[in-house]
Chains A and B, each alone.
Chain A
Amino acid sequence: MDVHGDLAERVKASGERVAERLELLRILRQLEGAEELAELVEKHDSAIEAAARRVRDVLP
């Protein structure tokens, strides 16, 4: 499940409506989103490292 993608969309769409934002946060909690987000942090971190390595490989 793309927790990050879902959340990003819903955060943008939720605006100032407190009820919707509350529901959004509840969903995040129920999905154990924090664990999945922690994996996403690592994934982004590794992606940056790998992309930088590819640049280094082609530097003269």
Chain B
Amino acid sequence: MSAAPFPIHPLSLAAENFRGLGGTHTLDFSRGLAVLVGKNGAGKSSLLVAVEWCLFGQPTTKKTDSGIAERGDWALAHYGATGDVSVSLELAVEGGRARLTRRRAVGARARDEDDVQLELPEHEVLSGHEVGDWLAWNNMPDWSTWKRSFCQHQEQSRARVTDTADRSTAIAAMLGLEEFRTLNDDLRKLRVKKLEQRAADELARLQEERRRALERPGLVLRELEGRLAESGVGAGQAGEAELAERKRKLLDDAAEVAARIGLGDALIPPASAPADEWIAWARAWSGEVRRKVDALARERVELSSRAQMLAASIGSLEPARTAASAAEHARDRLERELGSAPELTKKRTELEGERRRLDAAGKLIQDALDVVQSAPNPHVCPVCDHERSDLEQVVQGKLDARGSDARAAELEQLRARDEDLRAQLDRVESAASAQTAARAQVAALERGLRDQLPERTGEGAAVDEVLRAWRAEEREVSEGCELAERHVARHGESLQLLELMLQLDGARARASVPAGELADLPEFQELQRVIEEAADFASDIKALGDMARSLEDEQAEEQLAAVNASIDTYFATITGDSGRGRVRVQSKRTPTKVSYQLIDEAGRPITSHLNQAAFNALSLATLFASADSRARRGLPQFLVLDDPGQSLDEDHQAGLARALTKCASFAPVLVGTVPGALADALSGAGGADARTYQLARAEDGMSTIIREE
């Protein structure tokens, strides 16, 4: 694939609402040289920058991206603008004309993208990133190249000849070696050296780890011997016989305890078991014993509780029996003294009958008196008609004979006797209840006791025997638990020691076997293969870099004469110095890059002794030579210069006009300048065929084109 052969170049510009320019302004580049003339603030720079903004957008409007100080707080649209900012560049392209338009809405935020559109011949329209891709594909410059080879800003002019990187890149571009230079930069940025470093680091680390691994068996051996010595086992003792003896004792101890706490010896391996088997058993054994001890402890607590309850029951039964017997005696004595409850009840019934009879007799006589008193004849008995003059007195007398006082006294006597009987009855019944309760308590205690005892346990001594047996069993369980606890502690220590002895055995074996070489490991061989691959890769990259530099060097030699002539010619044109060879390019190759220096005829760096005007002239000459070189190679070229006549006297400005006129023969040139020698020279007075635009600031503060020639 090759670059498009047609050198794209601008034909015209249309800027709307851009910066301080009110309305729409157009510039025509068809004559090759377009000159903007105006006093300070007339809008020249705005129109020049409009070209850059149209091509590159935001990088041109930010100080950090553009590297141009005065753009630090740029406003893209003029204050009070109501319409979008828009700049269009009409371009001559292969097959016709194209229009590149960049728009930005009023009030757009910093992160909002510009609207970019490219209308190509045949009505093809590109937008967004497609536009940038198309321009790059057609060798249009990027922003960095533009700053270096297409424009003249105040900040840029010095860097072009003083900054080594800028100068070298600009000259490399002039020599047609940008491609190799960029490639070399890209390859350098790859930092393939870090692969060598990584490989070296990893290998060193592995060697160190291997060294430690080789030392480790000896270290482990010494550590194990030290720990065994702390446990009272000397290095000489820790042999096979000692290990077997300790192992036998460990197993015997375990068997004894197992028998004592009822674990049985089925869990214990035989003495002939392999080390890994009995070690596994020994590690689990403490847990087995602890589980059994926990179960025994629960059993002991239960036994203790049962014994305590039985003792309590035995202790409370005898007093209850004594109390029941006392209650029985008390009841018997009371019944003998007062009578039984039925007898006392019977007496109370008899007293009640007597009281009722007494009440009935009194009531009968009262009824008789009522009848007599209510009869029609008080002297005739209304029952038997017997006549008697004192009938009422006789009945009254009978009633009086059984007078109320006497009857009341008799009734009171009866009530008192009944009270006595009732109190006696209560005492007898209470004694009977007490006796019943005492008997019930004895019965309950006896039942409770029987429930606690094993079946068929007799009374008295047999019960005591049960209690004694329980207490003995409790003691035995308790002792078994204590024994097991002591065993577990001892077992742990013995096991630890045995494990150390086993480890020592293994460590001795390992220490006696020489370690294999690192290189014998398949994994290490694979690492070496990976490192070799990386080294090959790094070597290829280095070879590419070397090739890029060699090519740049070779090509530079071939092109240097032409570039020297070009720079020197432009420099002489501007300064009016007809002497040849005042400026030359010198290439200098280092292991990593090629740099270029501008030297004088004596071989000294030329920037070290130039005055300001010569400095500017050299910067401009370099720029023009660069543009010349691009144009000769068929690459798109366009020059935009902002007040390039600064620091130049009238003669130099006239020379500059000649140089610009020459440049305009191979590329469009847009120059902004204040009125004066350069403006005059460019606008026809010097014979140049230029289109001139006079700019001024109007009364409303907006810049505008007031005349076009």
**Closest chain A CB from B184 CB (angstroms):** 10
- Cβ contact within 8 Å between A41 and B191: yes
- Cβ contact within 8 Å between A47 and B540: no
- Cβ contact within 8 Å between B195 and A51: no
- Cβ contact within 8 Å between A52 and B547: no
Distance of A47 Cα from B531 Cα, bound (Å)? 8
- Cβ contact within 8 Å between B213 and A60: yes
**Closest chain B CB from A19 CB (angstroms):** 11
Distance of A47 Cα from B199 Cα, bound (Å)? 10
Interface residues of A in 35-60 (CB under 8 A from B): 37-38, 40-41, 44-45, 47-49, 51-52, 54-60
- Cβ contact within 8 Å between A49 and B1: no
Cβ–Cβ < 8 Å partners of B206 in chain A: 52, 55-56, 59
Cβ–Cβ < 8 Å partners of A54 in chain B: 523, 526-527
**Closest chain B CB from A28 CB (angstroms):** 6
**Closest chain B CB from A31 CB (angstroms):** 11
Q: Per a CB cutoff under 8 Å, which of B202, B515, B523, B551 touches A22?
A: B551
- Cβ contact within 8 Å between B527 and A34: no
Interface residues of B in 180-207 (CB under 8 A from A): 180, 182-183, 186-187, 189-192, 194-195, 198-199, 202-203, 205-206
Cβ–Cβ < 8 Å partners of A29 in chain B: 179, 182-183
Cβ–Cβ < 8 Å partners of A37 in chain B: 186-187, 190, 541
Q: Taking A45-B198, A47-B530, A51-B523 as contacts, is the C-beta distance between A56 and B209 under 8 angstroms?
A: yes
- Cβ contact within 8 Å between A38 and B551: no
Q: Taking A28-B544, A34-B186 as contacts, is the C-beta distance between A55 and B179 under 8 angstroms?
A: no
Interface centre among B179, B183, B205, B544 (most CB of A within 10 A): B544
Interface of B is mostly: helix
**Closest chain B CB from A52 CB (angstroms):** 4
- Asked whether B210 is an interface residue with its Cβ less than 8 Å from the other chain, the reply is yes
**Closest chain A CB from B237 CB (angstroms):** 28
Nearest residue, chain B, Cβ from A22 = B551
- Cβ contact within 8 Å between A11 and B527: no
Cβ–Cβ < 8 Å partners of B209 in chain A: 56, 59
Interface of A is mostly: helix
- Asked whether A25 is an interface residue with its Cβ less than 8 Å from the other chain, the reply is yes
Interface residues of B in 204-228 (CB under 8 A from A): 205-206, 209-210, 213, 216
Q: Taking A8-B540, A21-B551, A41-B194 as contacts, is the C-beta distance between A52 and B183 under 8 angstroms?
A: no
- Cβ contact within 8 Å between A11 and B544: yes
**Closest chain B CB from A15 CB (angstroms):** 11
Distance of A55 Cα from B536 Cα, bound (Å)? 22
Q: Taking A7-B544, A52-B205 as contacts, is the C-beta distance between A47 and B533 under 8 angstroms?
A: yes
Cβ–Cβ < 8 Å partners of B192 in chain A: 41
- Cβ contact within 8 Å between A30 and B1: yes
- Asked whether A18 is an interface residue with its Cβ less than 8 Å from the other chain, the reply is yes
Cβ–Cβ < 8 Å partners of B199 in chain A: 48
Distance of A18 Cα from B547 Cα, bound (Å)? 10
Q: Per a CB cutoff under 8 Å, which of B186, B189, B537, B547 touches A4?
A: B537
Cβ–Cβ < 8 Å partners of B190 in chain A: 34, 37-38, 41
**Closest chain B CB from A7 CB (angstroms):** 6
**Closest chain A CB from B507 CB (angstroms):** 12
Cβ–Cβ < 8 Å partners of B203 in chain A: 52
- Asked whether B543 is an interface residue with its Cβ less than 8 Å from the other chain, the reply is yes
Distance of A21 Cα from B533 Cα, bound (Å)? 23
Q: Taking A44-B533, A55-B524 as contacts, is the C-beta distance between A11 and B547 under 8 angstroms?
A: yes
Cβ–Cβ < 8 Å partners of B530 in chain A: 44, 47-48, 51
- Cβ contact within 8 Å between B198 and A49: yes
- Cβ contact within 8 Å between B540 and A7: yes
- Cβ contact within 8 Å between A48 and B183: no
Cβ–Cβ < 8 Å partners of A22 in chain B: 551
Nearest residue, chain A, Cβ from B529 = A51
Distance of A57 Cα from B521 Cα, bound (Å)? 11
Cβ–Cβ < 8 Å partners of B515 in chain A: 60
Q: Taking A38-B190, A59-B210 as contacts, is the C-beta distance between A25 and B547 under 8 angstroms?
A: yes
**Closest chain A CB from B550 CB (angstroms):** 9
- Cβ contact within 8 Å between A11 and B543: yes
Nearest residue, chain A, Cβ from B535 = A44
Distance of A44 Cα from B194 Cα, bound (Å)? 10
**Closest chain A CB from B594 CB (angstroms):** 14
- Asked whether B554 is an interface residue with its Cβ less than 8 Å from the other chain, the reply is yes
- Asked whether B504 is an interface residue with its Cβ less than 8 Å from the other chain, the reply is no
**Closest chain B CB from A53 CB (angstroms):** 9
Cβ–Cβ < 8 Å partners of A44 in chain B: 195, 530, 533-534, 537-538
Q: Per a CB cutoff under 8 Å, which of B182, B202, B548 touches A52?
A: B202
Distance of A48 Cα from B205 Cα, bound (Å)? 13
Interface residues of B in 151-191 (CB under 8 A from A): 179-180, 182-183, 186-187, 189-191
Cβ–Cβ < 8 Å partners of B534 in chain A: 44-45, 47-48
- Cβ contact within 8 Å between A59 and B536: no
- Cβ contact within 8 Å between A48 and B198: yes
**Closest chain A CB from B192 CB (angstroms):** 6
Known A-B contacts: A41-B194, A59-B210. Give 13 more (CB < 8 A).
Answer: A4-B540, A11-B543, A25-B183, A28-B183, A38-B190, A41-B192, A44-B195, A45-B534, A48-B202, A48-B530, A55-B521, A56-B205, A56-B206
Identify 7 residue pairs between A and B in the complex whose beta-carbon atoms are under 8 Å apart, listed by A's number: A18-B551, A34-B190, A41-B190, A44-B533, A49-B202, A59-B210, A59-B213
